[in-house]
Structure 1
């Protein structure tokens, strides 16, 4: 059903433990259809001792602002889309006989009350503001966040980059140390694409390194059509 590709030998070791997976489900990404989410739920339930699905719903407002939405409208649109994704995951879990969906979904509301997540987020935000090397490295992630969402031939402005990187900073704690956030011995973060920044992160090339109990796993079907991997964000009119 899915191909699995660990980013590093350590990521492979973490995957082999089967202790935990944190599956990233991006709002506004056409790849995550109801059927795709159902397949991912079945895969995670079969492959790991425990699992969560991460929905960066509130953080998606930063990307919408970068695309031109007013802050209030961006928050409203992100919240609506987050609810749609949350419900898709809940239905897929129920179909697999998992009825305590809230325990398996990490959305912004849940993470905002998690002390370890808050600690890590404060750490990476502080590094971003004070450490020039880390800031430069992480600003590059805004290119990935905005990829396919700007009109062809357009490069992001400095303001757009500053907003888009906030989305990535909200995700970064889960790339660094999901085990201590969710109380599991080890964890792989699961996404369907390779990201240059994350490859460098897990190879230990950046100013901040992930915990050794943290891995990253690229999980995708044999083929993904362009329509499946499209962005659903649009510029406001």
Structure 2
């Protein structure tokens, strides 16, 4: 079903360990169809003890505003995107109901008050402020993802940084956020942030892995 490529050998060991998998879902990303999500759940649900599907529901309106939408249009686009992703996730979970893993659906907004999320975010902010290499990696990640647009590039960049900052505790320290022994973040391509870090995983939690799952 998928070609699995761990980011590092240590990530491969965490996949074999199979404690927890995180499937991050971007609202509005056509890759995450209902069928694809069901396939991801089936693949991870037979290899990990627990699986969380996390969809980003923060800063979408800011991204739309920075792309040139007015307030009302940005609000409508945000509501439509979130309604659509929730429907696809719900139906995918129903379609993969026979997997042995414990499956849970989380909105990013539901996690920001968790003690583990807050502590991870504080550490991330400190690293970005003190380590030029980490700050540069985050900035280049946003530039790759955001691209051009109608509005001022500075507005899009700032919105992209806010979006990335909200996700960083999960990208770098899911075990701390969700209180699991180890976790593997599953995505269909290697995240630009990891590419920009150049293989230096010093800012990753020891139990944090990354796995690229590409459809065969």
User: What are the residue-to-residue correspondences of 1:63-102 with 2, within 5 Å?
Assistant: 63-70=63-70, 73-97=73-97
Does the 8 A contact of 2:34 with 2:88 survive in 1? Answer: yes
Asked whether the equivalents of residues 201 and 209 of structure 1 are also in contact (C-alpha less than 8 Å), the reply is no
Q: Which residue of 2 aligns with 1:204?
A: 200
Cα distance in 2 for partners of 1:41, 1:202 equals 29
Contact 1:25–1:55 (CA<8 Å) still a contact in 2?
yes
Determine the structure 2 residue equivalent to 1:45.
45
**1:63 and 1:146 in contact (8 A); partners too:** no
Instruction: Give 1:7's aligned residue.
Output: 7
TM normalised by structure 1 equals: 0.79
Give the superposed CA RMSD. 2.6
- Which residue of the partner structure matches residue 115 of structure 1? 115
**SS of aligned partner of 2:46:** helix
Residues 202, 114 of structure 1: alpha-carbon distance in 2 compared, 3 angstrom cutoff = farther
- Stretch of structure 1 that moved more, 158-167 or 209-218: 158-167
Q: Which stretches in structure 1 are left out of the alignment for 5+ residues?
A: 223-237
The question of whether the paired residues in 1 share the 8 Å contact of 2:137 and 2:197 is answered with: no
Structure 1 position 168 matched with structure 2 position 164: yes
Compared CA separation, residues 73 and 134, structure 1 to 2 (3 A): farther
**Residues 114/164 of structure 1: CA separation in 2 closer, same or farther (3 Å cut):** same
Distance 1:41-1:164 versus aligned 2 partners, 3 A rule: same
8 Å contact kept, 1:7–1:199: no
| Larger relative strand fraction | 2
Aligned pair count reads 213
Q: Which residue of 2 aligns with 1:59?
A: 59
Deviations 1:147-194 (A, max 9, x none): 4xx46xx99723321221111111111111111222211110011012
Per-residue CA distance 1:172-223 (angstroms, 9 max, x = gap): 1111111122221111001101233213448226xx610111000001102x
* Distance across 2 between alignment mates of 1:193 and 1:107: 21
Aligned to 2:211: 217
Report what 2:186 is aligned to.
190
Task: Summarize the Cα distance change of 1:16–1:71 in structure 2 as closer, same or farther, 3 Å threshold.
Answer: farther
Q: Distance in 1 between matches of 2:9 and 2:151?
A: 35
Q: Secondary structure at the match of 1:190?
A: strand
SS in 2 for 1:105: strand
